[in-house]
Amino acid sequence: MAEGQQLPAHKTASQHPSTGAVLVMNHNRDDLGELCGSLARGGLEVHLADSLAQSHRLMLQSRPDVVVLNPLVLCAGGVELELLEALQKDDDPVPVILLVDDLGALADARSLRVPFQSFVLKPFQAAECVQRVENALAARAAFRSLQARTQKLESQVSVDFKTGLMSELYFKRLLGLEWKRAQRHQHPLSLLLIDVDNFKSVNDSTEYAFGDEVLRRVADALKTNVRETDFAARFGGDEFGVLLPMTTSAEAVQTALRIRQRISGMVVQSGTFQRQVTVSIGVESYDGRTASTVDHLRRNANRALHEAKRRGKNQVWLYSGQESELQGKA
């Protein structure tokens, strides 16, 4: 069989073949013709690579569902392992079936950072390896099904039912993703933490339904004053967050001032209750260069929010690093 050749999948009416793409990395160049033929007759799309370069090319063309590795040299830091590690994703690992000459090689493989699904001891019967491949495909299908159900459940809790904004749980997930993207590309990222001033007194002196109306009106103001690429969320209670990708501290402050002004000019009325609403906003930014963590970003924004409250509320405050000292003098 020529290097890199794809075997056609054959099916008959009596067969119930698996489906999926199998990459056979035959770097040790054993005779795997019978194995590849059996996989193809089982309805699988088989790609055979007899060299590291060919394996790399095939991986660039398409991502396989399972890999059968007949290694040339199996060792940590080796090129073969680097290729397999590049295939892996946290939410969608590609199972690997290892062909080994002895159990000692298997022991070495278990210490490597590759999800070896199973192993086959050489010499082997093709049917045995085919069964391992089918088991790996079934396990991967089950994993993907579980991931899909998990994502569906997450989507059901991704929206805050009172305001229609993102939930805090979903926002935290997006914050982590956007933080990694900002670090990787050295792009600015800004976070606004927003708190409704004197909200406890609203609930204490009115009905909870009126408090909910206040939260909805604040949420509406956020929706109309941020870009489509921004993310607004309610954190529970009377606190909100807005994540601003590709936004410098100066731009974030302008956005915060616009939000503060929009809400401070708003009067909420429902039934016999009426209140003018104001918010305090803390701002912190990552400039794409300074070393920090996503936890620091949120913690500093929270400190800035407390400083805005301390200074009389209905304020915007950009984190400066002096907040703890100023609070100590308050």
Q: How many CB atoms lie within 10 A of CB 1?
A: 16
For the chain, the C-alpha Rg in angstroms (whole number) is: 29
CA atoms within 13 Å, Cβ hemisphere of 144? 12
d(CA 318, CA 307): 9
Residues 205/274, Cβ–Cβ less than 8 Å: no
β-pairing, 96-100 vs 116-121, is: parallel
β-pairing, 279-286 vs 189-196, is: antiparallel
Residues 248/256, Cβ–Cβ less than 8 Å: no
Residues 219/165, Cβ–Cβ less than 8 Å: yes
Residues 194/317, Cβ–Cβ less than 8 Å: no
- Among residues 240, 136, 152, the alpha carbon closest in space to that of 196 is found at 240
H-only helix segments in 186-271: 199-205, 208-224, 249-264
Q: Active-site residue 238, yes or no?
A: yes
- Choosing from 31, 50, 238, 287, the catalytic residue is 238
Structure tokens at 80: 């073969």
End-to-end CA distance of the chain: 80
At 75, the amino acid letter reads C
Catalytic residues: 238
